[in-house]
Amino acid sequence: MGTSKRGKASLLFEDPPLILSAASVVGKKEGEGPLGKYFDRIEMDSMLGKRTWEEAESELQTRTARLAIEKSGLDKEEIRYYFGGDLLAQLIATSFGSMDLEFPMFGLYGACSTMGEGLQLGSMTVAGDFADRVLVTASSHFASAEKQFRFPLEYGNQRPLSATWTVTGCGAVVLGKGGGGSPLARVAGITTGKIVDMDFKDSMNMGAAMAMAALDTIVTNFKDLGVDERYYDRIITGDLGTVGRRLLLDYLLKAGHDIESRYMDCGIEIFDGSTQDTHAGGSGCGCSAAVLCGYILPRIQQGEWKRVLFMPTGALLSTVSFNEGKSVPGIAHGVVLERMDEGRK
């Protein structure tokens, strides 16, 4: 056991936690998108058989968590803690969605960066020998989020082109030291984000608000680890969308880092903006979580990418803060994922 603190915000794990299994469940629209074939399950009923959108999101989280446990080949009792979060006020999707599993529970809120926050805390918990295995999950649902953050669905309001489309989806991973089949990847290290406020006040352009947080976490990661963009085969943000993407790439170029050839954004990949009317891209906790589990981790396992900086991005606002004229600060949490047979630095 051991670890190495690097710089102000990064850790490299001497004995990296392994991602033992991953599950992704998404909605119909996500299933029709370019990544549709990679997800474990596509729910054609957006209510998932429940009475309300919130119950539907809870059910989505329950099903994804159960599938991740099933795919790990472990008994539920072999997993010690549950780290989970969502976008809803007071985390009701997570509380009601994790309840029946009866795990000792840590509720997390990092807006759309929650999967990164969960992977960081879960990895520390495993690397520190506080648990042999933990479950990490994050979910979002288009209808529960739209209702809460924007307008009633019935309005059918017009959305500006900079707006994103909240993904109906959930990703869940089992992290651990071993056991339960062939691991997908290892968590080599983490860079924990700080809150970055550029005084952006447009809640319909959250990509711009989050781009500066992503910039900060990438630059901190490079500095803390003494590396640059060539260290990674892919640098993947959560849901900057097309507007945030351009800002991030431009600012990084000014800082001397040309990452465009190895850059990807989960929100841009999950929908086909030209045919799916999703404007700047997908967003929500479930976007990066489902793309991680369905698309990114298998690519690492199969050896297509040997090292990835996975960095979900979150916009820290509520309708109250926004309506009171506050800005939209951002946060981005970086997780360094490596192929299992990759040599250690």
Binding site for a second copy (CB under 8 A): 1-3, 5, 8-9, 11, 51-52, 54-55, 80-81, 85, 87-92, 95-96, 98-99, 102-111, 117, 120-121, 124-125, 127-131, 148, 192-195, 197, 316-321, 324, 326, 329, 331
Residue pair 185/304 in contact by the 8 Å Cβ criterion: no
Rounded to 5 degrees, φ, ψ at 172 are: -145, 135
Number of residues that make up the chain:
345
Nearer residue to a second copy within complex by CB, 131 or 136: 131
Residue pair 285/269 in contact by the 8 Å Cβ criterion: no
How many whole angstroms from its chain centre is CA 149? Answer: 19
Shortest separation between residue 277's beta carbon and a second copy, angstroms: 26
- The dihedral through the CA atoms of 271, 273, 276, 279 has a sign that is positive
Shortest separation between residue 35's beta carbon and a second copy, angstroms: 27
Q: Are strands 234-237 and 307-311 parallel, antiparallel or unpaired?
A: parallel
Nearer residue to a second copy within complex by CB, 20 or 88: 88
Nearer residue to a second copy within complex by CB, 145 or 268: 145
Nearer residue to a second copy within complex by CB, 24 or 191: 191
Shortest separation between residue 316's beta carbon and a second copy, angstroms: 4
3-state secondary structure of 27: strand
Shortest separation between residue 130's beta carbon and a second copy, angstroms: 5
Nearer residue to a second copy within complex by CB, 202 or 272: 202
Shortest separation between residue 100's beta carbon and a second copy, angstroms: 9
Task: Tell me the one-letter amino acid at 16.
Answer: P
Instruction: Please tell me the distance from the alpha carbon of residue 145 to that of residue 89, in angstroms, as a whole number.
Output: 10
Shortest separation between residue 114's beta carbon and a second copy, angstroms: 9
Residue pair 59/67 in contact by the 8 Å Cβ criterion: no
Structure-token pair, residue 81: 């803690």
Residue with tokens 């910039």: 215
Nearer residue to a second copy within complex by CB, 63 or 245: 63
